Amino acid sequence: MLFGQDDTLHTIAIALIARGHVLLEGPPGLGKTLLGHHFAELLAGRFKRIQGTADLMPADITGVHVWNARTSTFEFQQGPLFADVVLVDEINRAGPKTQSAFLEAMEERQVSVDRESFPLPDDFIVIATQNPREFEGTYPLPESQLDRFTISARLDYPPREAELRMLTAYNLPDSQSRRQPVNLQSLPPDLLDAARSGLKDILLADTLMAYVQDLVTASRDSRQISLGLSTRGALALARCAWVEAALRGGEYVIPDDVKRIAPWVMRHRLVLSPDALLDGITANGEIQRILSLVPVPH
């Protein structure tokens, strides 16, 4: 059970409906692994956890062909990527070579090993956690990999009342109390498909598409940003705004839907210029500046 993380749960729901992936940032010990477990339970799917370490190799996550002496053939043994929900803990502690193994899986939902391609589950979603760059033993994630995360969220310390509820629920004499089953009810099998197909009934006007494009262009033209939103990022911005409108029960997408999800979609994709970093400008601050400058359609 998670307390005080409503925004994080909201972003994951958006990513799931939009068939995207989530990057979580924040201090350790806030329940990121527990979140992944419970999310897999809700989907009635398989959950796998990958711990990012410096010695993690691509074959450790994708799988490998193993010789079967009885059949005299090589058989493919699936790695932990073959699951519905994959939690990659401290992804930026893995080396660049291993991080590149996620690119095909996250974009094309398949894994290629020894010139063979193996499809991943239909509801495959990656929830990755990232340590701050200044932590020892971390590698910066490549821009191409960051761009594959549809949305990012920061896991902050919960409010006082929420943390008190957590202490009451989990701080029990039984040493195994933290692992007590929650007995979550799984989503009905066709509910997720219905949510995705229902998006076509929500109007996304041409003026809103132009607004999204204006935000993307502003991120590319800003002197404070050396790398703005890609076309993939523009698609994610429009798609997530669409889902946000659906979750609030709207019949069409409004500018406020775009403004609400913009920081989650844009923050991890923007690369600030050296001058901006020296001036103490943050990605969140630059996003808010862009949102305030770009005219809002009526």
Predicted confidence (pLDDT) per residue in 42-70, tens digit:
877 788 889 888 889 999 999 888 988 88
Same fold, 6-165 and 192-293: no
- Classify strands 85-89 and 47-51 as parallel, antiparallel or unpaired: parallel
Q: How many residues does the chain have?
A: 298
What are the counts of helices (DSSP H) followed by strands (DSSP E) for the chain?
A: 13, 11
Structural fold of domain 6-165: Rossmann fold (3.40.50)
pLDDT of residue 175: 47
The pLDDT of 114-131, averaged and rounded, is 86
Q: Does an H or E element contain 233, and which?
A: helix 231-247
Q: What is the CATH number of domain 192-293?
A: 1.10.8.80
Tokens encoding 29: 């010990």
Q: Are 88 and 52 in contact (CB under 8 A)?
A: yes
| Each residue's pLDDT tens digit, 154-198 | 877 777 887 787 777 766 665 454 555 556 677 777 888 888 888
Residue 1 has pLDDT above 80, yes or no: no
Residue 265 has pLDDT above 90, yes or no: yes
DSSP, res 203: B
* pTM, to two decimals: 0.85
Please report, for the chain, the start and end positions of each structural domain, with discontinuous segments joined by +: 6-165, 192-293
